[in-house]
Structure 1
Amino acid sequence: MAQEHDSIIEAQMTGHVFKPKKVEATGERIAQLNLPQGFKIEKFAENLGKPRIIEVSPQGHIYVTRRRGDVVLLKDTNNDGKSDQQQTVVTKDQAHGIAFHEDMFYLVTVNEVFRAPINQDGTIGELEQIVKDLPDGGQHPNRTIAFGPDSKLYISVGSTCNACDETREENATMVVTDPDGSNRRIMARGLRNTIGFDWHPETGQLFGMDHGIDWLGDEEQKEELNRISEGEDYGWPYIYSDGNYNEADEPADMTWAEYAEKSTEPEMLFTAHSAPMSFKFYEGDMFPAEYKNAALVTFRGSWNRKPAAGYKIMKVDFENGNPVNSEDFVTGFLTDDGTSQFARLVGLTEMPDGSLLVTDDDNGIVYRISYGE
């Protein structure tokens, strides 16, 4: 039974619609990007349309999903740090997240998860459907997947809306299954849209970046870095940030204060509406020692905030398994005093040599970030 209140609650939706103009990713603009000393960024592949999630298989094959509904295999046959071959290896409507387990390729769409063997040349064998009934996507259809240290398949299932009471229990959750799709269960709730998540290399703890609620103002809701643990509720849609109440949505059977008491607060907050996408711990040896076990986060960039925010990559430092500091890693994609942009960053993966690949789903480019070359 809903709690009674002795005062009137009034909530106001507010914010801007402000979309920086897309401009071409020219050599001159790329050269003006800001990176720490010793780092270099350059085009690895282009003319990809709208590339989204990018991953490297245990065999070293590079795969990227595209909004058009396919998976492209990228090859650098002469090892010059640039892709010279692009081959579509899977066609599947609304393909998005990719993962690998025991030499198998895994792919998630809105409602389904598939797996298939990886051929020696990097092409993909026949897809086997192992999950068929994930809830519909609504506002957040872009599912992502990864295998944890426990060899379980983790599936991020976003909310259908900005803020609402969901009708399907699995929306706004992290779902876990066995590698064959069986024994499916909800691991954590109250996650509006956690596209980027990864496990700390030393502790095995799962962390993820959650998208905040829109229309609470230019400065709210801030994007959240959460420590995602079994059975926890992270508050959406009723509680956000450090225990703030979303007064436009009231819990059905308890007060906001009671819901806040049972919600888990974030570890760290980032500028509202920056749109965090990939979140990856760096485990390679190419970068300086201070990058080892730090996390890197792509921010696709805001559309409903003025001034614009995001359009960059950030580094999150960890000590003793805990996030302690964040700082810019690559900036400058937002140009002309914040009125133009030449990249909306999404996917992020680590290459066998320790360099990084990053996708831009607006100008159709994959960038390579290296150090000391």
Structure 2
Amino acid sequence: MDASAVFARFVALVGSVAVAIRHSSDGPRPPAYGLKPTIPGPKPQGAIPTLKMPTAKGWENRRTPVAAPGLRVNAFATGLTHPRQVYILPNGDVLVAESMGESGNPKTVFDHAMTATMKRARASGESPNRIILLRDADGDGVAEVRHVLLENVRQPYGMVFLNDTLYVGASDALLAFPYELGQTKITAQGRKLMSMKPGGHWTRNLIANKDGTKIYVAVGSLSNIGDAGMEAEIDRACIFEYDIAAGTHRLFAGGLRNPVGMAWEPTTQTLHTVVNERDGLGDETPPDYLTSVVDGGFYGWPYCYWDRTIDERVPQDAGKVAVALQPDFALGGHTASLGLCWLPEGALPGYPAGMAIGQHGSWNRSKLSGYKLTFVAFENGKPVGMPRDILTGFLSPDESHSYGRPVGVAHAADGSVLMADDVGDVIWRVTGA
């Protein structure tokens, strides 16, 4: 082991000890979930932020996630390389974006610890930079056909198919490729429709509107709370609307620290997203959230969070705080809720209509959170009640390692629910038992 690796491991160990000391007197806290969450006051963590992440282990000895009662789970596809997002084509073929956070050049002590931790957890490294096509031709719930559809796209994530065109959200651009359904390889050069800034929160998820005239592009912030100044955050922490016919884009909504999953609530045709909130204020402060997104809306980042609570670490803009919108539904602190998919009533036996949410899992709290595929019911176009789990068992009981980490979610053509697992390198399939 070279000197830099030894140093990084030492820093990670020191950080974990500091975390244990800092939180030893905190005591139990109610989780920040639901319409009216209990959110503890901020506890700024200073120079040594919480850093805790399980070692990536993967699935062994036929272990699988644990399905909720009345459901069953099977591996739709295995042996992938860091699958992040799942997209269903109109003919039932399944596209999977394989991508990963790029390792940067650590500068500070915490950067070294973070780099070592993320690599150990398989959260950063050499990105595969490709899209895989999967096909279950015989209908047995397992994909027996697999092709590399597209290669050499920088950190592909979001995918949308419209009018013989496959749109791909790369970390640095919105791209368009000519594509015919059934095709198993794209060799044509993509057209760049919109440039974006890579780095930081790098996922660029996509979703089209109902009539296929516009594409919404989710772009995360560069930093935690505008650490490099707000000029570096221009055209970030937002959702863009791209007009296909006009070839133009505009800011649709802002103040969203890291919006990733997007889905439409069908009765109101309202766009929803799940957002990863800021770090460094405590285990449950503030919670990640699910929210409807209105045209022109501002959701607080970096100046404030839930219920316009000021983040005292940030130079303030009173005008922005005054117009900040309240998110709809809290999903718990640092759950890293990434995947989002609308499920109609009956898609899973015993589950009403609502949103399935892939919670990738925390790396930055004393007691880990997330690491599950969960569900939020909707009534009259709005979330209700408390989350209900679909899949669990991704984390070892002692929190030392993860078997898998949930990411993107999709409702497949056969009615099943598919979920990407970027540590297990699996696409899991959920159906009735």
Give the TM-score of the pair, scaled to structure 2.
Answer: 0.77
Deviations 1:264-299 (A, max 9, x none): 01111121111011111113754236433x100000
1:38 to 2:70 alignment? yes
Deviation per CA, 1:160-207, whole angstroms, max 9, x where unpaired? 111114325311111001125712100101011111111101110111
> Among residues 162, 176, 184, which one is paired with 2:241 in the alignment?
176
Provide runs of 4+ in structure 1 moved above 6 Å.
none
- How far the C-alpha of 1:245 sits from its partner, in A, is 1.0
Within 5 Å, give how 1:249-328 maps onto structure 2: 249-251=314-316, 254-255=317-318, 258-283=319-344, 286-288=347-349, 290-292=351-353, 294-325=354-385, 326-328=387-389
Q: TM-score, normalised by structure 1?
A: 0.89
User: 2:129 corresponds to which residue?
Assistant: 69
CA distance in 2, matches of 1:289, 1:338: 30
Out of 274, 294, 300, the position equivalent to 1:229 is 294
Give the residue type in structure 2 aligned to 1:153. I
Match in the other structure for 1:99: 160
**Percent of pairs with identical residues:** 27
What is the deviation of 1:226?
1.7
1:138 Cα deviation (Å)?
2.5
Q: Is 1:157–2:244 an aligned residue pair?
A: no
**Aligned AA (1:143):** R
Return the letter of the residue paired with 1:47: G
Which stretch has the larger CA shift, 319-328 or 121-130?
121-130
Partner Cα distance (1:338, 1:71) in 2: 31
After superposition, the C-alpha distances for 1:209-268 in whole angstroms (9 at most, x for unaligned) are: 1101011122212101121001111000011122211111122xx43xx53321001111
CA shift for structure 1 position 26: 2.8
Q: Secondary structure of 1:281's partner?
A: strand
Cα 1:290/1:41, change in 2 over 3 Å? closer
1:218 to 283, 288, 300: 283
Q: Which amino acid aligns with 1:70?
A: R
Amino acid at match of 1:51: P
Distance 2:312 2:375 in 1: 33
Residue aligning to 2:34: none
The SS at the match of 1:242 is: helix
Judge conservation of contact 1:130–1:181 (CA < 8 Å) in 2: no
Say whether the 8 Å CA contact 1:112–1:129 is kept in structure 2.
no
Equivalent of 2:411, from 350, 356, 366?
350
Larger relative helix fraction: 2
Instruction: Note if contact 1:49-1:66 (Cα within 8 Å) is conserved in structure 2.
Output: yes
Partners of 1:224 and 1:241 within 8 A in 2: no
Moved more, 67-76 or 333-342: 333-342
Structure 1's 11 and 56: CA in aligned 2 closer, same or farther, altered over 3 A? closer
Distance 1:73 1:364 in 2: 15
1: distance between equivalents of 2:345 and 2:160?
19
Local SS of the residue matching 2:322 = helix
Query: Does the residue aligned with 1:17 lie in a helix, a strand or coil?
Result: coil
Shift of residue 38 of structure 1? 1.9
Shift of residue 124, structure 1, vs aligned partner: 4.7
Residue 207 of structure 1 aligns with which residue?
Answer: 272
Cross-structure match for 1:3: none
Distance of aligned partners of 1:103 and 1:289 in 2 relative to their CA distance in 1, 3 Å threshold: farther
The whole-number CA distance in structure 2 between the counterparts of 1:316 and 1:306 is 25
| CA root-mean-square deviation | 2.0
Gaps of 5+ in 1: 1-9
Match of 2:56 in 1: 22
**Which amino acid in structure 1 is aligned with residue 294 of structure 2?**
S
1:238 aligns with 2:308: no
Q: Who is 1:119 aligned against?
A: 180
